[in-house]
Amino acid sequence: MPENHAGDMPPLCFAPEGTAMASWALGTILAMLASLIIAANGLVAIVLLCHIQKSGSKGLYFVLNLTFADAMVGFTVMGLAVDELSQPICPSQNFCILRMAFVTSSSAASILSLILVACDRHLAIRKPFHYFQLVTGPRVGLSLVGLWLVAAIIGFLPVLIPRFQKVSNHWKCSFFNVFHPSYMLTMFCLGFFPSLFLFLYLYCDMLKIASVHVQHIQEVEQAGLGGSCPPPHTTSDMKAMRTVAMLIGCFTLSWLPFFIAGVVQMVCPECFPYKVIENFLWLLGLGNSLLDPLLYSCWQRDVQLQLSQLAAGVKRRVLLHLGSGRCFPGRGTKAPPAVSCLELQD
């Protein structure tokens, strides 16, 4: 009989003693986190689509792309959860590299989408009168296509450059088992650090513009020319600043520990075990994909209003379904002063 090659079928491997329970627990956590990420981003995506149809705002496509990228993170992580729960079947090395490349690409797309959202809010504050002339459909489309191309290059960089790969006989797919630590340093220097710096620059510039607006309002009020209500653009500036501030805070708290620990682990492998990074700090970074839709549902009034309308529509359909067979009260009972079935249908 011909010999079986390593790439023909997934090899059987056995986890070290005492790690089966830990693998099952990690797989359960990953599956729950991935399910929450997919559900939350899917709901916010539906709300954003409804809001885009009503308002026609091109800038909301950046937020919609953010929800799509975060949902992709959930789908790719679900594959890792299945691997954790389906031991002792081990995928091949090439399959692990491709799987982790897809996970990294979707995470990079999520981070890049956050940057586009922040840039969009910054442009709305910096050039409010030219915003709708600058943010057009073709430009939004080109920006999103470029975003996904850059995210794909970042994620599949170890596939394109083999020296970023790491040959390992470990029994499961994970970031540090298939990628060389130098890849982590490259992502930190060329990806995370510039993104964080750009975030801080955009927020500081918006804060400067908002302070100038507030100072102008105070001068107008002291001259007795202003009204009792603040101008609309000031309220919009504060909402944009609040959104960007929350994005910066969640992005930093979620990913900074993972990248710092990864760089430290590269310099001193004994100082910071990679299992701690993969089992805890990486989960914290993935949590950012769950926080993004929650931020928009909690802090954006338009999204809150659309969510309430969607919930009201679902409730109305449920009432119609439940009340279809109970339109008329039984004999001896007093009809409640509620609306009739005809009124519900109207």
Residue 331 confidence (pLDDT) above 60: no
Sign of the torsion angle spanned by Cα atoms 236, 239, 244, 247? negative
Name the pLDDT band for 126 (thresholds 50, 70, 90): confident
Residue 143 confidence (pLDDT) above 90: yes
Name the pLDDT band for 68 (thresholds 50, 70, 90): very high
Residue 226 confidence (pLDDT) above 60: no
Least-confidence region, from 13-17, 26-30, 125-129, 241-245: 13-17
Q: Is the pTM of this model over 0.85?
A: no
Q: What share of the chain has pLDDT > 90, as a percent?
A: 16
- The number of angstroms, rounded, from the C-alpha of 94 to the middle of its chain's C-alpha atoms is 27
Residue 36 confidence (pLDDT) above 90: yes
Is residue 259 within 8 A of residue 192, CB to CB? The reply is: yes
SS3 per-residue string spanning the chain? CCCCCCCCCCCECCCCCCCHHHHHHHHHHHHHHHHHHHHHHHHHHHHHHHHHHHHCCCCHHHHHHHHHHHHHHHHHHHHHHHHHHCCCECCCHHHHHHHHHHHHHHHHHHHHHHHHHHHHHHHHHHCCCCHHHHCCHHHHHHHHHHHHHHHHHHHCHHHHCHHHECCCCCCCCCHHHHECHHHHHHHHHHHHHHHHHHHHHHHHHHHHHHHHHHHHHHHHHHCCCCCCCCCHHHHHHHHHHHHHHHHHHHHHHHHHHHHHHHHHHHHCCCCCCHHHHHHHHHHHHHHHHHHHHHHHHHHCHHHHHHHHHHHHHHHHHHHHHHHCCCCCCCCCCCCCCCCCHHHHHC
Count CA atoms within 13 Å of residue 144 on its CB side.
20
Domain ranges of the chain: 20-317
User: In whole angstroms, what is the distance from residue 310 CA to residue 314 CA?
Assistant: 6
Is residue 82 within 8 A of residue 95, CB to CB? The reply is: no
Question: How high is the pLDDT of residue 326?
Answer: 52
Is residue 306 within 8 A of residue 50, CB to CB? The reply is: yes
Output the six-digit token pair for 40: 């939350």
User: In whole angstroms, what is the distance from residue 292 CA to residue 246 CA?
Assistant: 9
Question: How high is the pLDDT of residue 280?
Answer: 81
Question: How high is the pLDDT of residue 162?
Answer: 87
List Cβ neighbours of 171 (8 Å cut-off, separation of 6 or more).
13, 14, 15, 16, 87, 88, 90
- What rounded mean pLDDT belongs to the chain? 77
Cis peptide before 158 (omega within 30 of 0): no
Among 28, 30, 11, 193, which residue's Cα sits nearest to residue 88?
A: 11
Name the pLDDT band for 273 (thresholds 50, 70, 90): confident
Top mean pLDDT of 1-15, 133-147, 277-291, 325-339 is at 133-147
Name the pLDDT band for 301 (thresholds 50, 70, 90): low
Question: How high is the pLDDT of residue 216?
Answer: 73
Task: Find out if CATH 2.60.40.10 is the number for domain 20-317.
Answer: no
Question: How high is the pLDDT of residue 231?
Answer: 54
Least-confidence region, from 57-61, 77-81, 231-235: 231-235
Question: How high is the pLDDT of residue 152?
Answer: 94
166-217 pLDDT, tens digit per residue, is: 876 666 777 878 888 788 888 888 888 888 888 888 888 888 887 776 677 6
